[in-house]
Structure 1
Amino acid sequence: MRFSNSKIKWVSLCFCLLLSLRIIQGYKESETARTLKLEQGNAAHEVHCSRERSRAAQKIIEEYLMPFVEKERYQMSSRCRLHSDNDLYRDQEQHKIRVDVNEWKCGYCRKRFYEEKYLDQHFDNRHYDLLNVSHSRCLADVCGALHCDLVMDSTPRKTKCNPAAASRNQHLCESLADSCFPVNEGPSASRLHEFFLRQFCDAHTCKGGQKPFSRGHRKTRNVFYLIVSILTMMLLLLFYIFIYMHQRGMKGGTVQLKRISKSVQKKKPS
């Protein structure tokens, strides 16, 4: 089987382009790795607080608790461990900028990274001084009460329930309900206290049947659904415009034919 010179040149050009892109990507990844290694060499600190679990806890609070708190117009005290001010990583998380699917940018120094985990390492090594470690504010500590494992594990495994662990998590959950929504602070606090017990605490049992987040979560708009809805509306509008113009053209043609037929009848020979 013979190939023409143009096909051979085209294949060679594509191969060179792919090779160049691979070299550039490898260089950028190695540059990111060198930057992180240099930063790690200068870092002499350690924070005993899981960023990943803190992020999961914050996501659960935002989706499964705060919509109901906002609906009640209730102001949580900063003494509540679920308050946003008690998240050690809150400021750093707010300084994450997602530029593209595979590109993240540091909001402090504008450095770019190709994965979120590299940006997390950069925060730990370069911007450690921005963390307020003077107070114990690790949001990951309440993960047991908030069922963080369900959010973090995309493919949950069936494990045997540990009654002792379930009892500890239920006790922690109930203490959060008491401190964040004291029943003596009014009707709103009392309703949120009851809601918190049903939403989070009741599922800490080995008896089965109880599921966390049974009261629902924040309704988020799907971007794809929004785009499809807009396109559908535009197509419907164009369809109705086409029907209107078509009917208008049909009426105009009918009137013109009638006029022609009348003029023809007047010109008949006597």
Structure 2
Amino acid sequence: MGCPMLKIAFFFHLFFSSALCISRDSQGFEQASGARTLTQEIPHNHEVHCSRERSRVAWQIIEEYLMPFVDQEEYQLPSKCRLHPDNDMFREQEQHKVHVDTNEWRCGFCKKSFRAEKFLDQHFDNRHYVLLNNTHGRCLADLCGGLHCDQMSEFKKAKKCNPAAVARNRHQCEGLADSCFPVSQGQSASHLHELFLRQFCDAHTCNGKQKPFSRGGKKQSSVFYLAICVLTLMLLPVFYLLVFLHQREMKKGIQDLKRIPKAGRKTKPS
């Protein structure tokens, strides 16, 4: 009796052990499958060691305070120049931003809409990360020291001047002038080299006398011309009114002069 009962007990033990192992393997497979599905549905937030915001400010400075003069000289930036548009890792994504309305930004790649630009930036980081050429030397934010990015910040705070930082930023600025506008490349390059030094590099000082962007830029020029146009449109009607009044007074004076001889003319004696 004892032997058959032991066999039966051993059989049930093997059965339940096998079932438990199968259940665990199945559960582990389902968990792994679920993890893969979750990875596909929620994309990784790829870490980029470059500030998109400061890169945007750097490009804004280049576009407004440098490129108008480059276009005026009809000069082509060398490909090795760090200021070249192709050396901005975010340039392609930034060009595919569509600002539809105040509270609507649209992705130019997949046409999705977002309430604010920061959410579109997150979308680019998550969904279109493969479009970033995250190689060395393509982070414009690294040039912010030489380009005075802090001058463009809306909430910049006055900081005590650090001579070492100023010297480092000036060295970077002069390096950009040498690599982007080598004086050996002709008259246009020489003009732009000198302009870049005056426009950006001279302001790297602790005396506070020199200000960056002394030559102005695209935005300042457009505002100036807009002001001139508005002033002209306002003064033009006044000018025509003065001309009209002057001509009317002149005609009135001529008519009065014509009447005077007739009224004061004496009759000849017969």
Q: Tell me, in whole angstroms, the C-alpha distance in 1 between the residues paired with 2:101 and 2:175.
A: 41
Residue pair 1:39, 1:122 contacting (<8 A) in 2 also: no
Contact 1:39 1:126 in 2 (8 A): no
Q: Which residue of 2 aligns with 1:105?
A: 106
**2:177 partner SS:** helix
Contact 1:63 1:217 in 2 (8 A): yes
State the 1:221 CA deviation.
4.3
For residues 120-131 of structure 1, the aligned pairs below 5 Å read 120-131=121-132
Determine the C-alpha separation between the residues in 2 that align with 1:201 and 1:141: 16
TM-score, normalised on structure 2? 0.67
Letter in 1 for 2:76: Q
C-alpha distance after superposition, 1:41-100 (max 9, x if no partner): 421521101000000000000000011111111111111000000000000000000110
Aligned residue for 2:253?
A: none
Contact 1:177 1:197 in 2 (8 A): yes
SS where residue 203 of structure 2 aligns? coil
Contact 2:45 2:125 in 1 (8 A): no
Q: CA deviation at 1:182?
A: 0.4
Residue 73 of structure 1: aligned partner: 74
| Residue of structure 1 equivalent to 2:48 | 47
Question: 2:10 corresponds to which residue?
Answer: none
* Alignment root-mean-square deviation, CA: 2.8
Aligned residue for 1:105, secondary structure, equals strand
Matches of 2:206 and 2:143 in 1, distance apart? 20
Other-structure match for 2:195: 195
Distance 1:133 1:40, change over 3 A: farther
Q: Structure 1 121/202 Cα, relative in aligned 2: closer, same or farther at 3 Å?
A: same
Pair 39,74 (structure 1): closer, same or farther in 2 beyond 3 Å: farther
Q: What is the match of residue 175 of structure 1?
A: 175
* Aligned partners of 1:39 and 1:125 also within 8 Å: no
Percent identical: 63
The SS at the match of 1:69 is: helix
- Is 1:146 the counterpart of 2:176? The answer is no
Q: How far, CA to CA, are the matches of 2:148 and 2:166 in structure 1?
A: 11
Q: Distance in 2 between matches of 1:55 and 1:189?
A: 26
Distance verdict in 2 for CA 1:104–1:185, change over 3 Å: same
CA gap 1:212/1:125 in 2 versus in 1, 3 angstroms: same
Structure 1 gap segments, 5+ residues each? 1-37, 244-270
CA shift in 2, pair 1:202/1:39, >3 Å: farther
| 3-state secondary structure, aligned to 1:97 | strand
Structure 2 residues without counterparts, runs of 5 or longer = 1-38, 245-270
How far apart are the structure 2 equivalents of 1:93 and 1:106? 10
Task: Give the Cα separation in 2 of the matches to 1:40 and 1:53.
Answer: 30
Aligned length: 198
In our comparison, the structure showing a higher alpha carbon Rg is: 2
- Matched with 1:214 is 214
Counterpart in the other structure of 1:119? 120
Q: 1:98 to 1:44 in 2, by over 3 A?
A: closer
Q: CA deviation at 1:129?
A: 0.8
Counterpart for residue 261 of structure 1: none
Deviations 1:140-177 (A, max 9, x none): 1111000001112x143221100000000000000000
Mapped partners of 1:118, 1:159: distance in 2? 31
**1:94 alignment partner in structure 2:** 95
Distance in 2 of aligned mates of 1:86 and 1:48 = 15
Instruction: Return the offset for 1:200.
Output: 0.3
Relative distance call for 1:220 and 1:111 in structure 2 (3 A) is farther
Contact 1:57 1:146 in 2 (8 A): yes
